[in-house]
Chain A
Amino acid sequence: MQPKLGLTGWLRWFWRQLTSMRTALFLLLMLAIASIPGSLVPQRTSDPNGVTQYFTDNPDLAPILDKLQAFDVYTSAWFSSIYLLLFISLIGCVIPRTKHHFQALRAKPPTTPARLGRLSGFTTQDAPAHTDARDAITHARTVLKSSGYRVARFDSDTESSVSAERGYLRETGNLVFHAALVGILVTVGFGGGYGFSGQRVLVEGQTFVNTLLAYDSFNPGRFFDDSTLDPYTLSLDDFSVSYEQRNLQAYGQPIDFTADVTVTPKGEAAEPSAVKVNGPLRTNGTSIYLLGNGYAPTIQVTAPDGTVVFSDSVPFLPQDANLTSLGIVKVPDGLAEQLGMIGFFYPTQDKAASGANFSSYPDLEYPLLTLNVYTGDLGLNAGVPTSVYALDTDTLTQQTGGKTDVASIELKPGESAALPGDLGTVSFVDNNPTASAAGDFTQSVPRFASFDIHHDPTQIWLISFSLLVLFGLFTGLLVPRRRVWVKATTRIDGTVHLEYAGLARGDDPALEAAVTTVADRHLKLLKTHQPVVAHPESI
């Protein structure tokens, strides 16, 4: 009959199972397997459009996968429970080991085993004549101490020995490694809560003030307090792009994007600076990243009576590598009807055999703007927020382009055209008419840059924990922990017999070499330090 386990008995049993090495291994392997689905199915966090597409392509499968949280693998209940269990196991494993390690650090090396013969690197030597066993061990102790061993000596009538141990750093490293992993998990888990990330598109010449309302989108962490936003200003002075032109294999490939900006901290002088693709700007506690760019054609709409009802540089979203770009213009007020336009912008316009426009080069060589005009209800009055990058055409009537018989409006920089139905005129404003007149369009259309602005106070912690992880790995895996013993026995005839041996604790490829080195150094020391005069009575 087995004794009955009480509740505490069961809990203790469960805890012992959870913190066992076997469970740690099992959970690690589970973690590896559980990570796989997230690479096969698009994830909401990294690829939201992919998820939408997946639902369209697999209408039957997608809802089932969604129930299983397959589109949010890394925040799913099952993934989280694996890594949380793993980390509970880790903590339960590391705490007792730390305690044990502290004791080991204070303890003396263990007594010398009676028989060294079976241990690694076992070596025997006869000490030089007239050596005294105790002196020999004193020298051995010196040799071992100078090689970084902790030592304890043991003397009896017939034999003396020294027991030495080194490499406590191995276990220290291992514990630091595991603890730093917990540190990383905690930092990642809570860290996001203290920061924010926001996006803002700026056209050349525009300025942004770091306040909540100025962001196009803003995602604060749980613990972030909006009032702590530091209201510095950021202006985009110039956005420059250079394209490969010599190498025909890579013709038109961008080689550099630079946003020249001016940062003005509140109440301080303005400072010119730059943001590049791999070079975020760190300023006023935030990091500013350059994540996108494109053209923002300046479009003006004028009512028949000559009042300007719309005038803005509208960011057009790039659709391909040659920057064919798509943009939306909405004019809710000032005209006889509400007006919406879907525009295509081609920085270097070209015509395919089918007659369709396309862009053949990303820079402004031969810019063209085409506009499809819609009239009707823009849907802005319903109070539902709408995207500035999308036009809901359901409640609108198309006036130009598409199935209408009216051709789309096509404008080159500086040109204007009448809107259908005598609504007024639309112009494509040229940013630099003088240069364009001379055939150089490169200044005719302003560019925009989209910035991500982040505040993450935990990065410094992450870096520190990562360095500890590396330190822990180096020492925990590569520092050998070993014991070495030297024993001196006095034979009946008075000569001294020396024995050397070692024991590895963990993987230790160099143990035998280490024992041999100790033996060699010891013998050398004995030979030099054992002059005959040291024992005059024995002469």
Chain B
Amino acid sequence: MNLTDSALLNSYSLYALYSAMAVYALAFIAFAVDLARRSSAVGAIEAAELIETDAASPAGFTASAGSTVTLKRPVLSRISARMDNDAALPYGRSSSLRVGVALTVLAWALHLAATIMRGFAADRVPWANMYEFAMTGTLLIMTVFLIVLVRSDLRFLGTFVTGLVLVLLGVAALQFYVEVAPLPPALQSAWLVIHVFVASLATGMFALGFALSAVQLLQFRRENSALEAAAAPRSAVASALRLRFLATLPSSATLENLSYRINIIGFILWTFTLMAGSIWAEQAWGRYWGWDTKEVWTFIIWVIYAGYIHARATRGWRGSRSAWLSIIGFSAVMFNFGIVNVFFKGLHAYSGL
């Protein structure tokens, strides 16, 4: 491809990327609105129930005077057979949730276009420096999210996933942007394609696992205080908990199982990443393992998730403690990508800064 075409294509890629970011931002807002609506719906139900119990009215609840609660309690969201929706207060798909998902798909398509155009502009895979790696990595995180949505209803994670991708893309575009450049010889390898691609897929899995574990912890707290609430006056507890929307999400046990299933896929992919990396290191540097900073952190992440899997099988470590390991694991992944690439010196100095 000649240079002017390449430059033109690269500028289209940038336009597409900025548009994708704008649409992700709108999707983020829609998802946030959905959470807010869930909270207020829960508030309304609780208020209604309070009146209901006070008046000892018969089961099947009606809106009480003054408030117009249109939400019927058994609005079950259609959830795939793989996940029981055992939410305390099942909640359907609000229009803002639908809008959020639709916008996310649109932004994802723009994001995909931006990445592909960058690849064609550079005439190689678009993940050879920090900017491109962030672009492709976030694209894969989003792809993993959208694919998982088909199988389990994790739409409630939309705020987290769009928010994460938006922040990463923003940093990449503003801090790490570099012009198209050819691959230096050290990166000319089929293993670049495999190693980095699988690492990004694993990161996508770990991101979802992280979010589920975080929600699991919050949900666990809510469930515990709900138990206490049986003894304590209800309104005090309800107001103590600002994250009311949690009542519309699956139980902490379900969230834990989901997080585990996603994290083990991530772990298998990460194991493969580590192995592919060693094979590449052997070809490029003549040794398969040398405790280079990046290798160290890849190893640390691997061990943390091995610990997470063990924790799930260890008495006393299921539940919240293992959730913390999943959270620490993903923090290490982000650290490896953000901090180690930029501030640590080592052989993986491909960041193009």
Contacts and interface: CB of A to CB of B under 8 A. Distances in A.
A32 B286 contact: no
Interface stretch (A339-347, A377-385, A402-410, A465-473): A465-473
Contacts of B82: 509-510, 513
Interface string B298-320: 01100110110111011111000
A64 to B, nearest CB: 21
A257 B285 contact: no
Contacts of A459: 282, 288
Interface stretch (B22-30, B134-142, B153-161, B259-267): B259-267
Interface stretch (A35-43, A222-230, A297-305, A417-425): A35-43
Contact of A255 (B182, B275, B285): B182
A250 B6 CA distance: 14
A254 interface: yes
Interface in A449-476: 452, 454, 459, 462, 466, 469-470, 473-474
A381 B315 CA distance: 70
Contacts of B340: 39
A287 B12 CA distance: 44
A462 B288 contact: yes
Contacts of A73: 291
Contacts, number: 138
B293 interface: yes
A291 B271 contact: no
B283 A38 contact: no
Contacts of A280: 283, 286
Interface string A462-498: 1000100110011001100000000000000000000
A21 B283 contact: no
A276 B185 contact: yes
A115 interface: no
B180 interface: yes
B260 A249 contact: no
Contacts of B285: 289, 291
A212 interface: no
A148 interface: no
A147 interface: no
Interface string A241-270: 000101101100111110000000000000
Contact of B296 (A35, A247, A287, A289): A35
Interface string A31-69: 110011011000101110010000000000000000000
Contacts of B292: 46
A39 B283 contact: no
Which 8 A-B residue pairings sit nearest by Cβ, starting from the closest?
A250-B181, A249-B179, A277-B185, A289-B286, A278-B189, A28-B307, A32-B303, A39-B296
Given A244-B182, A256-B188, A278-B188, 17 more contacts: A25-B314, A32-B300, A35-B303, A39-B293, A43-B291, A244-B181, A247-B180, A247-B182, A250-B179, A250-B181, A253-B184, A276-B185, A278-B284, A469-B275, A474-B268, A477-B268, A509-B82
